[in-house]
Structure formats: C-alpha cells, structure tokens
Structure 1
Amino acid sequence: MTQHFESLSRIKCQALHAKVMSAEQAAELIPSGATVGMSGFTGSGYPKQIPSALAKRIREAHDNGKAFKINVWTGASTAPELDGALAEADGINMRLPYQSDPTCRNKINTGQMHYMDIHLSHVAQYAWFGFLGKLNIAVIEVAGIREDGSLIPAASVGNNKTWIDQADKVIIEVNYALSEKLEGMHDIYYGTALPPHRKPVLINEPDDRIGSPYYQCPQEKIIGIVVETYDRDRVNHFSEPDEVAKKIASHILNFLKEEVRKGILPPNLLPLQSGVGDVSNAVISGLQHGEFDNLTAYTEVIQDGMLGLIKSGKLKMVSATSLSLSPDGVDELNENIDFYRERIILRTQEISNHPEVIRRLGTIAINGMIECDIYGNVNSTHIMGSGIMNGIGGSGDFARNSFISFFVRPSIAKNGDISAIVPMVSHVDHTEHDVQIIVTEQGLADLRGLSPRQRAEKIIENCAHPDYKEALWDYFHRAQQSGAQHTPHILSEALSWHDRYLKTGTMKK
C-alpha cells in the first residue's frame, strides 16, 4: 500500500508502513452499528479525512436502502468535517458527551439522534467501568508515530488515551499540517485504576507532570493509518469582546481585586479556568492589562487570549486538554512553539477536569449559562426546558470543586424578549448548592453564605435587566405571601415566563 503515498516521514516505525491506506479504505473498516471513539475537543484534534469518507459511505448505503448508523464518542465538540458530516448523512445513532454542531443539535432536538450529556470528567471512567457499553473502534488524529510505535498527540488530548486503551481496533490519522514540535507538550497519565485500587492524582501545581508525552498502543490493534491529511483544525475566529462582555469582565476583575485586598486570594490569584466565548476572552483581555502577575491556569481549553498572556509574561503556565486557536493563534503558536512548549501542558480530560485536582489547586472558574433563577439554580444546556444547546461540558466539574466559581451571561437575549434571570429555570444543571457567583452586565451577585431568600434579593437587584426587574420582584413578593417560606414559589407561575415566550415570542407581559 505504501507506494501510493509520497511521504511516510511522520511514521518512523517501519513495521507500521504496511498499514497505511486511504481514508476511503479506512472508512470501509467501520461497520454499521459500531461504537466509535473519535478524537477531538472543542474543534481541535479531530480526524479530518476518515469521518468525511465514512459519511459518504453511509449516504451510499442509505441510497441503496440499507440502514447504517454508528455511535460516536469524542472528548467534546469537533467540527463540520466530523459531527456535521456524519449528522447530515443521518449516520449517528448515539452521540456523547458534548457537541456544538447545528445539524447534530437539530437531529437531537427532533428525536432523530440519541444524545447523552455527561460531565466531561466522568466520560473516561464511565467507559472503564463498562457503563457505556463496548467500544469497538478508535479513530485518533496524531502528529506522528515514533520509532517504537508510540503516538505523538495532536492539538487536543481529550479522551484519546481511553479510546485507544478500550477499543478493540484503532485507526490512526496522521496530520501533516501539525507542527512536529508539538512533541513534548503533552502529559498522558497512565496511572488511573478502577476502584478499589485508586490512588491520588499527584498534581500539586499546574506545571506538575505525572505521565508520558505519548500515547501507547499495541501495534496489533492498529488496523489502518491514513496519511492524506494536511488540514488545519476548524477553529474559531475570535472577535473583540463587545461592551456587554467587557462589563461582565469588569465586574469579575473588580471582585477578584477585592478578594485579594481582603486576603482571601493571593496577589497572583489561584489557577484560572474559563470556558470558551466572548466573556472569557474579555476577562483574559482585562488580565492582560491588569495588576495581576505570575498567573497560572488549570483549564480545559487554551484560546488566543491565553497565548497573549503567556507571551507577555503575565501567565507563566497553562495546563489544559486542548488548543482551540484562531488561524492567527495557530500561526503564533507554530512560529514560537519552542517557547510555548515550555509553558503549556496538554493532559487527558479525565485529569484536566479531575475533581480531586481542581479542589486541591483551588481554581477560579468562569463558565457560561443559559439562564439562572432567582434562587441561584443554573441551566447551562437547554433552551426552554426541552431543546439541547450544546451540553454541560466541564462546567459542573469546575463549579462544584473550584475555590471560587462564576456563572456568566448577558442579562437578556433575543433583542430583549428573553430574560437570563427567571423565577424558576426550565432545566437544572447546577443546583443552588453548587452556584457561588452570578454575573451579568448589570452586576454581580455573590451568593456565598446566603439563604435562598437572601440569594433572590441579590440576584434580582444586581443581575436582572431593568425590563424584567419589577416583574421578578413582584413574583418574589407574592410568592412570600403563602406556602412554605424557605424557597418561596408560585407553582402555577414558576415557568410561566417560558410558556409565555413559546406562545407569544417574548417573556414580557
């Protein structure tokens, strides 16, 4: 097979050259009904050619009247070449644990695709426990294969180590667009064990290394290697934060300054974690020009803003599981990769999101939400209670275990027809017990140490948009006129705002 390809320079293990094949041939090795663990985390490190070839094969099967669907497990969201292509071909039966593709979302919300939304720290251990069923095939993007057969990870790690270990068979896609100098940036931990034989994960600082730079895979498990890939990740084009995001970031930064003044936080804060999006970018931008130095991060995803903080010297070390960079960010990384490799560690997501490690390090977590109710329950996954947006991701891993945790979003959406603060959330992902601080552009509500009624007063006064504040106060005051008073509600009205929106297109009366 090897004579059909110009270059095998990334496959240094001679014994594996005989397994090189085209993407189409690799796709033929994946049968209908298979459960496939694919690499990919937040638009980074996913296979590019094999999913597209598989989608074509699935469409041809459907055209011939044959059923063909697979179950797809990943680290997190991927890209149109994977999630989009397979969903458009109606080729996915079950998807987990996180997605952000519009076609996938539509298939899930119309009942054409099953979806299991799960905390990212749970995925690998659930696979090891056998809770998810048998994993048949792993399809993993790598930057190269070493002489001894070990695999050089790509721009994300996610659940790849577990997929390789658990799958009966493995297909490798070697991406020649990746810098070979990624080698050495990763820390793949092989010390996890099943209960009752678990031991502590010995990370005491974000820069601690506890594993190997490489994946290990028995050569006999590898059934195909694709070397046709020269495509970059389909990553985000980040725009400058708007005024709303800047206001939210300002509230957070001012709060952190005050916590330092009180002696609650050290002058260089604690390791940072932030989700993907405009608000996190705005916070990073504020840190770039702020008073905090010698910062660290223990997070999931590294975006462009963190590269800027590293380059300026503000951020001395970042631990994550994925690089999710714009094209300019990729160029910056590649041009200065020797510098960044000493300051970035990419780990498996079961370690990047490990509750024990998060609690020990005392991270400062900043994550987005869809809505929050007046008592502090947060919905981060569902629109109007029933329709999935993306998934819970790692927000729950960090919210419950961090030293300080923020949930953020603008106070209104859909041109003011939706309020982010409602009497009762239509779906609960993070209960009031796990929610510390709510932030909108209107202000910040510190809920630590407060009873439910005290939380309601803080959230309504500080975070609600003026168009909805009076109605929220009215609901809260009337709810206190009858019934139990620990968490006052009017059950006949608690979800009336969502019902009104579905019927009239606005939450406003």
Structure 2
Amino acid sequence: MTSDRIRHAGLAAKVTDAASAAALIRPGDTLGMSGFTGSGYPKAVPVALAERIEAEHAAGHPFRVKVWTGASTGPELDGAMAKADGIEFRMPYNSDPIARQKINAGEMEYFDLHLSHVAPMAWEGFLGHMDVAVVEVSGITPEGDLIPSSSVGNNKTWLELADKVILEVNRWQSPALDGMHDIYYGTALPPNRVPIPLVKPDDRIGQPHFRIDPAKVVAVVETDAPDRNAPFSPPDDTALAIASNILDFLTWEAKRAGLPPSLLPLQSGVGNVPNAVMAGLIETPFEGMTAFTEVIQDGMLDMIEAGTLRMASATAFSLSPEKAQYFNENAQRFRDRLLLRPQDISNNPELVRRLGCIAMNGLIEADIYGNVNSTHVMGSRIQNGIGGSGDFARNGYVSIFMTPSTAKGGAISAIVPQVSHVDHISQDVQVIVTEQGLADLRGLSPKQRARLIVEKCAHPAYRPMLEEYMARAAKGSYGQHAPMLPGEALSWHQRFMETGSMQA
C-alpha cells in the first residue's frame, strides 16, 4: 500500500521495490546520490544495487559506477557499494572505512574538493555527465514537489542535471521537516551570476521544496530506515581543555573587537571537540547567537533548547543516534529555529565573507608556520577529505583550527616542522588550538608564528625537538624569512613510518 507521504498520483503510480529500481542503473553510469554527513542518504536502492553488482561480478561481468554525493553518507551506501567493489570513482567527501581502504589501496579513484565547488563545477560541465540521481526525500506533495529529507547537500543540482531520477521516500524522517528547508533557485553561472540576497543567517531566500519534472522520475521506493551517524563520545579532558581555550579566546575577541552579545554566526566542524565548544557556550554570557554552518550537531540543539542559540542554518543534520531520535520526536519544537539549504548556499564563500562567520575546524597536523593538513595521514593516506573547512577558513571573520597536540598515544605530534600535505596555507590559518594552549597568529611573520605555535600548542614531549630544529634551521636555511631544512623537514614522518613513533 502506498504511503500517505506520496500524495502525487502520477508519482505514486511509479512506486516499486528497491531491486527493480536498482535494475534501471547501468554499468558505467554516473550516479548523483543524496546524503551529507550520514543524513538523508538513500538506504534501499544502494543496497539492492550492491547485491546486483556482486551477482554480476560472480557471473564474470564487470560492473562499477561513479558516485557523487553531498558529502559522507552511510554504511548502506558507501559501505555496501565499496564492499561489492562497485564504485569506480567517488567524490567529493568520504568517511566510510571500507571506501577509505579502497581509495588508499588505489582500487577506487577519489576526487576531494571544496564542498562549495561541487554544484558549480557540475553545472559548468567539468565533472562530466550525470545519468541517474538517487535522492531520499521525506515526502511528495500533491503538486509533485519533493519535501527534502534530513540533508539537502547537492540534491537540487542532481535532480536538475540527471537524465533519470529514482526517489526514496523515507517515512522514518519526521513530517515536521516540511517547511524547515530553504531551496534557492537563483544561482547562475558567469556571466549571468547575481548576488545572493541573504544578509542574515535566518533570511529565507528560496522555497521549502524541490522542483522536479515528474517525467524524469523512473521509480519511487518507500523506506522506513533511520539515518546512521556514529555516536559522539562524552568529551574527554583533552577535548574539554581545547574547548576551554577556544571559549576564552572568543570572550577576549568579543571584548577586543566590540562584537555584540550574539557574537558572529558560528561555523563548526563535526566531532566531540566542537560539541564540547557548543556545550561551553551555553555557560557563557553570549546570547541570541546564530549559526551559519554545514551541519547541525547535538550541541547546537542543546544550545537552542537552552536559549543560547537563536537559530541555525546548515545543509544537514549530523546527530548522534540518540539525538536523532530525540529530534524526530520533538521536531515541531525546532521548526522556527532551523533552516536547511543547498550546500552551494550553506558553504558559499560570498555569504561566509558577508556574514563574518567564526570558523572552527579540525586538523590532522599543523606545521610551525601555520600551514594545516586536514586530509592526509603521513602525506599520502586520505582520512576523509577537506569538506567545507576551506570554504569557511579563507572567508570567515576568524579561522580557528583545533586538535589534540598528539595522536597514537603520543607517537605522533600534531605540530611538526613541515606538514606532509597542505590543505590550508598559512595565510588562511589565523588561530591554532590544542589542549596545551592557543596561538593567535594574526599579523605575525613566519618566525613569530613559529615561536608562538611551539610555545603555546606543541606537546611538551615534542617542544624541545621543535625548538632544536628551529635553531638549526636559522643557521642552515637557504633564507631567513621562513627558515627550513628541506632534508629534515619531513624526517619526523619518515621516522614514524619506519619506527612507529615521531620521537627521536
């Protein structure tokens, strides 16, 4: 029996099972899949497609596809299809461990790029042709419009560009999501691009639903499956110390710059430390705050309920399983406080610069001059991807990068002579924070930055090694603007790969 979530007669007539929908996908197709940080991704068709791919492989027939998404998805998509060896090419962000292993083994091509660039590059034709869009929605209106799910991501673009569309209508998603989205159809390519008419995080500039040509829809599949995000652990002492350093800095910066009690719009990466920052903000004098960010996390819902956060604009939820269930049960209470937008709006550099976002993101390692690696372990092994950190870091009011000072039980220092891969150049990195302290790098020369980062952020076990390196570099470097010893700058990484520790 067709769900009451599908209220358009023509699309209700296209309801089928996941296997039949997956049969419409051909080997070599490029698929635009919904999903962003484990929210709003299709959960039935990718599993059925993975089963079909496994059967084709067992029969000796090649079958792989290209997969484009908003960001990371869930085990039913990236995990199932990677396990079936069904993904030839993946972009723009991945956090699935099976897919990561295949990427790092050279068995899957991966294009990691700024999330704000994906939709424009797709429209510009740089990425190639899209054959099929597989998009989860929470409902279909009588007029045939699509009620978005728990993420928006690149769905608007996929629905417009794809030759064929497969819809998953997921009744697990709260019906109160209807009206919580702002889908802007005013973007255009140069030379026809015009300013985006958004000047406050809570401005509505679009419409609540996706438009779709019903003739493009080749199948509709009904599901009742939860989003699957990893649970957040309670913040440990290290996370709490990092959060405390950031909160002290924000309090100081607000006083120094004369910022209002609401600060400026917050942007935060995903994880335990950002959630600890959100929890800490509840206890500060700041009030009436807003967020203009990628994802709405547990801590932001807590801030809204505490009355500290007035509203949050994002492209997706990234909630722990417990908080996702809580949100579904209480979504009506959040309807006027949350907005989900396409990621080419939520991450748009024009808007980040205009609003003056306070950007807070994680890193894998930083070097003594403030260059940041947020994607690659030991320079060559991808962890997840750059995500939207660059969209916000280069354009925000202030760009903060945070990390524990060591990893692997102290075997790795997060502060190194030179990063093994550069995602954010020193000019885009203004503040570095560890549990040891905070380095405000604004207005400092390279050598000044180096002294401050080592003093404030490096772990005591590695600080003498860094100081000794800087002293020798000052004597033996080719130049004195940013002293460096090329033959030694990456020796810490080489030592870890050979011995399992960066310690000399």
TM range (shorter): over 0.9
- The code of the aligned residue for 2:492 comes to W
Tell me what 2:501 maps to.
506
**1:192-241 CA distances to partner (integer Å, 9 max, x unpaired)?**
011000001111110000001000110110000001x1111002322211
Task: State the Cα distance separating 1:261 from its structure 2 match.
Answer: 1.8
User: Which residue, 377, 380, 386 being the options, matches 1:383?
Assistant: 377
User: Which residue, 70, 88, 95 being the options, matches 2:83?
Assistant: 88
User: Which residue, 13, 19, 24 being the options, matches 1:18?
Assistant: 13
Contact 2:164–2:218, Cα closer than 8 Å, also in 1: yes
Tell me what 1:153 maps to.
148
Structure 2 distance, partners of 1:260, 1:271, is: 13
SS of 1:8 mapped into structure 2 = coil
1:338 is the counterpart of 2:332: yes
User: TM-score, with normalisation over the residues of structure 2?
Assistant: 0.99
Structure 2 distance, partners of 1:443, 1:402, is: 22
Structure 1 distance, partners of 2:318, 2:372, is: 26
Structure 2 distance, partners of 1:372, 1:319, is: 29
- The code of the aligned residue for 2:17 comes to S
Task: State the Cα distance separating 1:264 from its structure 2 match.
Answer: 4.2
Structure 2 distance, partners of 1:90, 1:173, is: 23
Contact 2:112–2:385, Cα closer than 8 Å, also in 1: yes
Structure 2 distance, partners of 1:74, 1:304, is: 23
Contact 2:370–2:450, Cα closer than 8 Å, also in 1: yes
Contact 2:2–2:15, Cα closer than 8 Å, also in 1: no
Tell me what 2:29 maps to.
34
- The code of the aligned residue for 1:372 comes to A
Tell me what 2:171 maps to.
176
User: Which residue, 286, 290, 308 being the options, matches 2:284?
Assistant: 290
Task: State the Cα distance separating 1:172 from its structure 2 match.
Answer: 0.2
Structure 2 distance, partners of 1:352, 1:323, is: 13
Matches within 5 A, 1:211-360: 211-227=206-222, 229-360=223-354
- Structure 2: runs of 5+ lacking an equivalent: none
Matched-pair identity in %: 60
Structure 1 distance, partners of 2:496, 2:319, is: 36
SS of 1:94 mapped into structure 2 = strand
Contact 1:236–1:324, Cα closer than 8 Å, also in 2: no
Tell me what 1:62 maps to.
57
SS of 1:461 mapped into structure 2 = helix
1:397 is the counterpart of 2:391: yes
Contact 2:185–2:206, Cα closer than 8 Å, also in 1: yes
SS of 1:480 mapped into structure 2 = helix
SS of 1:501 mapped into structure 2 = helix
**1:235-279 CA distances to partner (integer Å, 9 max, x unpaired)?**
232221110000000011001111122234322210000000011
Structure 2 distance, partners of 1:332, 1:89, is: 34
- The code of the aligned residue for 1:258 comes to W
- The code of the aligned residue for 2:326 comes to E
Structure 2 distance, partners of 1:20, 1:267, is: 51
Structure 2 distance, partners of 1:282, 1:74, is: 28
User: Which residue, 196, 202, 206 being the options, matches 2:197?
Assistant: 202
Tell me what 1:480 maps to.
474
Tell me what 1:115 maps to.
110
**1:77-116 CA distances to partner (integer Å, 9 max, x unpaired)?**
0011000000000000000000001110100000000000
**1:1-49 CA distances to partner (integer Å, 9 max, x unpaired)?**
xxxxx23311100111221110000000000000000000000000000
Over aligned residues, Cα RMSD in angstroms?
A: 0.8
SS of 1:104 mapped into structure 2 = helix
Q: Which runs of 4+ in 1 moved over 4 A?
A: none
Contact 1:35–1:135, Cα closer than 8 Å, also in 2: yes
SS of 1:216 mapped into structure 2 = coil
Tell me what 1:414 maps to.
408
Structure 2 distance, partners of 1:415, 1:399, is: 29
User: TM-score, with normalisation over the residues of structure 1?
Assistant: 0.98
Structure 1 distance, partners of 2:186, 2:52, is: 39
Task: State the Cα distance separating 1:291 from its structure 2 match.
Answer: 1.5
SS of 2:160 mapped into structure 1 = helix
Contact 1:141–1:154, Cα closer than 8 Å, also in 2: yes
- The code of the aligned residue for 1:260 comes to A
Structure 2 distance, partners of 1:262, 1:77, is: 38
Tell me what 2:417 maps to.
423
- The code of the aligned residue for 1:476 comes to M
Tell me what 1:3 maps to.
none
SS of 2:462 mapped into structure 1 = helix
Contact 1:418–1:507, Cα closer than 8 Å, also in 2: yes
Tell me what 1:143 maps to.
138
User: Which residue, 440, 450, 455 being the options, matches 2:444?
Assistant: 450
Structure 1 distance, partners of 2:464, 2:398, is: 30
- The code of the aligned residue for 1:72 comes to V
Tell me what 2:157 maps to.
162
Structure 1 distance, partners of 2:458, 2:369, is: 13
Structure 1 distance, partners of 2:241, 2:3, is: 51
Contact 2:136–2:168, Cα closer than 8 Å, also in 1: yes
Task: State the Cα distance separating 1:329 from its structure 2 match.
Answer: 1.4
Structure 2 distance, partners of 1:8, 1:474, is: 68
Number of corresponding residues = 503
Contact 2:34–2:41, Cα closer than 8 Å, also in 1: yes
Structure 2 distance, partners of 1:379, 1:237, is: 25
